[in-house]
Structure 1
């Protein structure tokens, strides 16, 4: 994850902890919730999946294998605005 991606993730998590209505919308329609609350438009070709981790669970997200990514699909340091 890029630095800007990590920052966005941190902002989203903090807002979800502070705002129950944002959290509910984030779970139901993540792209709309992020755009509405933070003004960040996520491109149509990007899927966003939101799950809530509980204290007795651990989620591990595996990024794409770099050898499986086609060079033309790589958008280095892409920033959504």
Structure 2
């Protein structure tokens, strides 16, 4: 399991267990993640939190590898 998947699982678990964290995560995800995990997400990274329901499912399509490979590696942010 990747580090990204593990982190997403931790976020979801905490949101399920702590309604106040979930509220902060929905309202201001960067601040909620920083407070809960000490992870600072760079300003140029946009982060949106959405909540699925029993009748809604969100499919996230990542960037094409062709598009990612054209980005200068020195400008990539890792978090």
Could you say which TM-score interval applies, normalised by the shorter chain? Answer: 0.7 to 0.9
How far apart, in 2, do the equivalents of 1:7 and 1:45 lie?
23
Q: Spell out, residue by residue over 1:8-35, the C-alpha distance to the aligned partner (whole angstroms, 9 max, x if none).
A: 1111100000000000000000000000
Runs of 4+ in structure 1 off by over 6 angstroms are none
TM (norm. structure 2) is 0.85
* RMSD between superposed Cα atoms in Å: 2.0
Which blocks of at least 5 consecutive residues in structure 1 are unaligned? none
The alpha-carbon deviation at position 71 of structure 1 amounts to 3.3
Which blocks of at least 5 consecutive residues in structure 2 are unaligned? none
Higher relative contact order (CA 8 A, sep 6+): 1
